[in-house]
Chain A
Amino acid sequence: MELNRIRNFSIIAHIDHGKSTLADRMLEATDAIDVRAMQNQLLDQMELEREKGITIKAQAVRMGHTVDGQPYQLNLIDTPGHVDFSYEVSRALAACEGAILVVDAAQGIQAQTLANVYLAMELDLTLIPVVNKIDLPVAEPERVAQQLIDIIGFDPDQILFASAKSGDGVNEILDAIVEHIPPPAGDPRAPLRALVFDAKYDPYKGVLVYVRVVDGRIDGRRPLRLMQQQRRFEPLELGTFRPQLSPLGALETGEVGYVATGLKGVNESRVGETVTVDRAGAEEPLPGYRPAKPMVFAGVYPTDAEAYRRLREALERLSLNDAALQWQPESSTALGFGFRCGFLGLLHMEIIQERLEREFGLELITTAPSVEYEVTRTDGSEVLVDSPSELPPPNEISEIREPWVSLSVTVPARYLGAVMGLIEERRGEYRKHEYLDHAADDGDSRVLAEYAAPLSEILVDFYDQLKARTQGYASLDYHFEDHRPARVARLDVLVNGDPVDALSAIIPREDAAAKGRQLTSALRELIPRQLFDVPIQAAIGGRIVARETVRAQRKNVLAKCYGGDVTRKRKLLEQQKAGKKRMKMVGQVQVPQEAFMAVLRLRD
């Protein structure tokens, strides 16, 4: 298709503001797919994504739309919908010339939306603002439109109003895409440069890279090369998304599609890569590539030591589709053999954990998540520490630095104090705030507040607390900023006299003793009574700072005989046995999975 008949766009929206529904309506309204075959929210394909109502993998679809008798090719590139995936979002946006900004008519602009708007602006994308869900009884479309005008600077007549649910306004949006979003501006005669905005593993075709052709064309005959990784490959198939894979002979400048690479793992084709032809290819890759950088680390262990191999296979399988997941073998005296895994963020971690358990039937123990500390030793050497057990002894440490993030929170003004309180509890600092509703100055008007805080402090139930203290109104976005000196120490836990490495945590030195007391008392609640007394101690640098005892249990008996119902009696015992099997034997003590996350409960 000619360049001026192509429009590449994305949809920016907060969770639940109606992105997927709008995408569905657009597909229905164009000739993209057979309506009867349509499932709700086609673009969200993973089961987990549906459940969590978010998009994890980017998806794409090509649609046809006609304006004034002229056919146009519209390529929708759906972005992942969570802060953990902001780099992936930036690459998906970089593959577009424009974006539809969808804002819920009842909820207004949220922190994360705004973050993506700024991202889109940096990339020079044309934005089409849409106030969605105007049919809701609590909708305030005028007020939300005013926010868009005041904060982002749209003209009133640029703003569209729609209800993706009913389909109202969808055609106007399609027309606006053609009218306002510029066509791609690549050079058809230049050597091929295509931006990889996602990658997916296919058991038959190897890694499929999802690409936007920026310059030149892909014809499927010449060998190609991933520029950053220096990987050469023969394209096995190429095509576009309708939304299922639909093979084509070539992808032209400006078009969006996929290339089957035959490569074995997505690690070899990271998002942000540039694809060119192997011989006489482009000189310079496209800008913006960044290697995956995990921010959150945790030990993942099988409850049953014999499942280690299955866990490894499962991680390998997940890695095929998730270049951001990193893992390497690790062993723990308490938990045996497992893996140290690196994740983009807590949500990413949660998703991986759930997929391992659900799709691979594994029972896992995950240790409390940790950030990566930079440690300067007294001898001047530097080490990166992402696990408490790797922290050098205190006398060998000259300085520890921990990652800090910038936080943006949008919240009605009346909760600003509550948010400030929470940030202060988490060692954070205030930077600035601005009102999003310029006209209003009551407690309901929205504020965008900016803070900085140690990442370790927001890993643990920060988001839940933020929601709780603002009655669910706050939304959050964060970005890694830098490493700053930290006064932290390792808190060790002894169960029945034996140190349990998997229960150690790196915590701020100031309240270490208090944390030790909280941790032992949390563990006393979590560890069930055993056949003997079990002391639980917390220690810092060998000094015991807290002690609790789980008293020996005295009674576990089926009293009654149930008129000879032996089968039932056996079933009750089997249930108890299964419950015990889910626990980990640490020495002679049965410790449930939750205990290894106990450090997460330290705040009240």
Chain B
Amino acid sequence: MVVQRTAAGWVPRLLPPHAACYADSVSADSLSLYLHIPFCTSKCGYCDFNSYEGLGHLAPGYTEALLHEVELWAPAAREFRVDTVFFGGGTPSLTNLDDMAALTAAVREHYDIAPNAEWSLEANPTDLEGEHLSGLRALGINRLSIGVQSLHDDELELLERAHSAERVVEVVGEARDAGFDNLNLDLIFGLIGQPLARWQQTLERTLELRPEHLSCYALSVEPGTALHYRVAKGELDEPDPDIAADQYEWTRTRLSEAGYEHYELSNWARPGQRCRHNLTYWRAYPYLGLGAGAHSLFAGQRFANVDAPNRYVEAIEETREERRRTGSGTLRQIAGGETPDEATLQADAMILGLRLIDGVSTAGFERRFGVAPDAVFGEAIERHAGLGLLERDGDRLRLSGRGLLLSNEVFIDLLPDPPEPDAAGR
């Protein structure tokens, strides 16, 4: 599918009558920008993101294309104030400072950036050195998200991560020295053969580093990854879901003691330091994803760019070429998308909203859709409340402690029904 609109001619329909659904700092006419850097020095065994090793030579042309895409979307986004900018990957920390300077400058030039905007960058411990760190800070990057994953070297090896536990400790110190006062550390628990105690050690040592934000993900063995292959071959066991559940429950208790707020299934933050960018996703506020394979929710549509970096670079060139000739045209970098119908929007609002620990405001839902969640999902809500997976707290509907880990069981029942098969049964 191709979105047949000219960026210049687009008057974006403001999504959020649902803005009132959530009371927070993100406002209705705010926009988040995501910029994807798909390159990695080496691809980790568990990773199924749109990232590539060995394509570093494409980086200069890719940065060019990304700069163009920043510019392409600017007219469509002119009504919005950009509240968060997120460089994700892949490995954005591989991008050299000159390119980063060009990208941040272009974003500032073409968009209305909020003065207190959150500028995040995902980083590998191995890529960051003193000068690079202070350079990023000087460019206005004010939040680093560091892929730590584990503080045991043998586990890092299993995950095919290039860094050591020691390097993590160093890099956090260096980031502090460079002036970063908002650090996220990414961790993975539920590793294959990982007992509870090993995870506890990783988390305790991580807490000593005093991060402002923590993301703790359960390892999932995704189809198409090297890890999946090794498990399928029998070389590695499947991760044990019960141990992962123990680890998760312990993590919730421990982080709460340590003064972190659990605000999303996998995310914890010091008060006031939740990741505003990721909240945009959970709240279904508009975001524009730029770069190969990046996803957007904009003007009532969900769409994504082509995955392959070389194809993305070509597509951006084609878009620009057509635009030069005709003044308008198709956005050729967009690979596909959907305009969700009302039922899908309602389901998305519930499924995404319930990932937040505060859950969904039933009044807010009703203001947005003109119908209460109970009228749409009553049966599923009752069932899962009965099973102890959902809880009501006044206006709010949220997952229970047990429900967090079984959230898919709840979400499945919130999906809209697929179309009926026709009479022939096909």
Contact = CB atoms under 8 A, between A and B. Distances in A.
Contact of B241 (A307, A360, A531, A553): A553
Contacts of A573: 351, 408, 411-412, 415
B226 to A, nearest CB: 17
Contacts of A362: 425
A207 B217 CA distance: 64
A303 to B, nearest CB: 12
Interface in A535-586: 553-567, 569-570, 573-574, 576-577, 580
A361 B412 contact: no
Contacts of A574: 415, 418
Interface string B44-86: 0000010000000000000000000000000000000000000
B375 interface: no
B332 interface: no
A563 B294 contact: yes
A427 interface: no
Range class of the B interface residue count: 35 or more
Given A531-B409, A576-B412, A567 B338 contact: yes
A564 B412 contact: no
Contacts of B217: 559-560
Given A556-B406, A557-B404, A563 B425 contact: no
B229 interface: no
B128 interface: no
Contacts of B404: 557
Contacts of B280: 564
A433 interface: no
B119 interface: no
A426 to B, nearest CB: 33
Dominant SS at the B interface? Answer: mixed
Contacts of A553: 241, 406
B418 to A, nearest CB: 8
B34 A555 contact: no
Given A555-B218, A563-B289, A566-B281, A361 B424 contact: yes
Contacts of B406: 531, 553-557
A88 to B, nearest CB: 29
A531 B402 CA distance: 10
Interface in B274-296: 278, 280-282, 284, 287, 289, 294-296
A307 B220 contact: no
Interface centre among A361, A555, A565, A573 (most CB of B within 10 A): A555
A574 B404 CA distance: 19
Interface residues of A, number: 29
A360 B408 CA distance: 32
Interface string B343-381: 010011001100000000000000000000000000000
A279 interface: no
A447 to B, nearest CB: 39
Interface stretch (B106-114, B191-199, B242-250): B242-250
Contacts of B408: 556-558, 573, 576
Interface in B246-284: 248, 265-266, 278, 280-282, 284
B398 interface: no
Contacts, number: 105
B421 interface: yes
Given A554-B242, A563-B34, A580 B426 contact: no
A558 B218 CA distance: 9
Nearest to B304: A565
B245 A554 contact: yes
A601 interface: no
B415 A565 contact: no
A585 B155 CA distance: 41
B407 interface: yes
A74 B217 CA distance: 74
B338 A557 contact: no
A589 to B, nearest CB: 13
Interface centre among A553, A557, A565 (most CB of B within 10 A): A557
A531 B281 CA distance: 28
Interface centre among B220, B295, B296 (most CB of A within 10 A): B295
A564 B281 contact: yes
B49 A361 contact: no
B425 A307 contact: yes
B387 interface: yes
A573 B355 CA distance: 14
Contact of A559 (B218, B284, B304, B425): B218
Nearest to B278: A561
A569 B282 CA distance: 12
Contacts of A361: 421, 424-426
A567 B302 contact: yes
A557 B281 contact: no
Interface in A343-395: 360-362
A310 interface: yes
A562 B49 contact: yes
Interface centre among B217, B278, B406, B412 (most CB of A within 10 A): B412
B348 A570 contact: yes
Contact of B295 (A557, A560, A565, A576): A565
A383 B235 CA distance: 55
Interface string B199-220: 0000000000000000001101
A577 B352 contact: no
Interface in A261-312: 307, 310
B156 interface: no
Contact of B266 (A555, A560, A565, A580): A560
Contacts of B409: 531, 556
Nearest to A575: B412
A564 B266 contact: no
A531 B388 CA distance: 10
A564 B424 CA distance: 38
B405 interface: yes
A210 to B, nearest CB: 29
B276 to A, nearest CB: 14
Nearest to B287: A564
Nearest to A560: B217
B248 A555 contact: yes
A35 to B, nearest CB: 35
A569 B351 CA distance: 10
Contact of B425 (A310, A531, A566, A577): A310
B302 A557 contact: no
Contacts of A561: 266, 278, 281-282
B370 to A, nearest CB: 22
B36 interface: yes
Nearest to B216: A559
B329 interface: no
Contacts of A564: 34, 280-281, 287, 289, 295-297
A314 to B, nearest CB: 8
A560 B34 CA distance: 16
Nearest to A559: B217
B125 interface: no
Contacts of B338: 567
A123 to B, nearest CB: 43
18 contacts: A360-B425, A361-B426, A554-B245, A554-B402, A556-B405, A556-B406, A556-B407, A557-B407, A557-B408, A558-B220, A563-B49, A564-B281, A567-B304, A570-B348, A570-B351, A573-B408, A576-B408, A576-B412
Interface of B: 34, 36, 49, 88, 217-218, 220, 241-242, 244-245, 248, 265-266, 278, 280-282, 284, 287, 289, 294-297, 302, 304, 338, 344, 347-348, 351-352, 387, 389, 402, 404-409, 411-412, 415, 418, 421, 424-426
Interface of A: 307, 310, 360-362, 531-532, 553-567, 569-570, 573-574, 576-577, 580
Given A556-B406, A562-B49, A563-B88, 11 more contacts: A361-B421, A361-B425, A531-B389, A554-B241, A554-B245, A554-B402, A557-B265, A563-B49, A564-B289, A566-B295, A567-B304
Those 8 A-B pairs whose CB atoms lie nearest each other, nearest first? A361-B425, A554-B245, A559-B217, A555-B241, A556-B408, A564-B295, A577-B412, A555-B245
